[in-house]
Amino acid sequence: MDRNSRFLLKSFRKYYKENPPELPDRFTKREFGFMFFDSGMVQRHIGFPNMDELRRFMIGRVPSHSYYSTAYYRKPAAPTMEEKEWLGAELIFDLDADHLAGAESMTYSEMLLQIRGEMIRLVDSFLTSDLGFSEKEIHLTFSGGRGYHAHIPAPSVLGLGTQERRELVDYITCNGLDMDRVFPFQETALSQMRVGGASRTSVGRDRLIPEAGSGGWSGKMREGLMGVVNDVCDLDFDVVRRIYPSLKGSRKSSMESLQKDLRGGRKALFERNNMAALDRGHQETLVRIMREDVAPRMTSEIDKPVTPDIKRIIRLPGSVHGKTGLRVTTITRDQLSGFDPLEDAVPDSYSDAPTKVTMKRDYEFRMKGEDFRLSGETEVPEYAAVFLVGRKAADYGHLSESKEALF
């Protein structure tokens, strides 16, 4: 075990002596899994009969990462999944910042801020709104690393299989949304004409708009379309092209025509719930914007493989994350809006004592109300040292000193 691992192990042991992990409901029916500082493998198929046994394990073994099963089992410590006898599983949604577009260029704090917004959207736009879960049924946690988890242990979802859970993922991620069903065609008689002595009716096809108060994706698309129409009517063309990339190649004359048409028919669109007041080419332009630009922004960046997995293990609330030293923290929906992991998930057991570290690269961050701008050999509070060493942004100690002087 290297010096960095020994430092983190010492800090984690101090934490676990003062802070027992939070127990999930029916924890004796859960499988537990752990990783350790001296091993890169996950040790699974562990069960605990009571809280004291789990706490002694955490203090004695000091895991670097701690997990528990989202599933309930008759025999959680059985060595194979078949022998465990699956009884049901929570519904889980995992949001991790590494799935965000452009994550590689973001700072840690920027990633945390954006992924928090994604979790807020998931809860407010999908879980409580479309799917009808109450806030009490949704248990939220900060993962300790780069994301958030939503656990739903409601009896109504425990028996859902992989396919049903995958359908929920498809709904939330807008996979397979049919714009011809959201904005269906309505045939309209335009005129009568004589052809070969017979009378024929000319028929036009105009797009309908979901009615006010529509639920699900229909309601989301109506609101999104209102935003598109207002933007095209009120903003400069260059700004509109930036907001809606599907219009990037549009000529100025086409944009002027679309804008003029929308300005004249803006009010009628949503009073009549159809696009009949618009040129049909402009109707299709709006549908393309909704499909290519708007709908993807209304989804939530969930980790797609996690939710359908009915035998998943996930971070144990109250444990600490081996790559940050931050606590896996249970929060309410109200707390989520202002939650800052580098303020609210820093364990109190980490002290303010000056701790020597050697930076691997220049690093700036804000933690517990203090701004840090670090390079080279320096000293920081212990809580910051744990974070930096866990993030592999620094080595514990001053490397110019002898190894013996550090321990």
Known catalytic residues are: 94, 96, 303
Q: Find out whether 304 and 79 touch, Cβ atoms under 8 Å.
A: no
Cα distance between residue 184 and residue 274, in whole Å: 9
| Burial 188-209, CB ≥16 within 10 A → b, else e | eeeeeeeeeeeeeeeeeebbeb
Tokens 């070969």 belong to residue = 196
φ, ψ for residue 169, nearest 5 deg: -60, -45
Q: Give 359's strand partners.
A: 394
What angle (nearest 5°) sits at the alpha carbon of residue 274, between those of residues 272 and 276?
105
Amino acid letter, 62: V
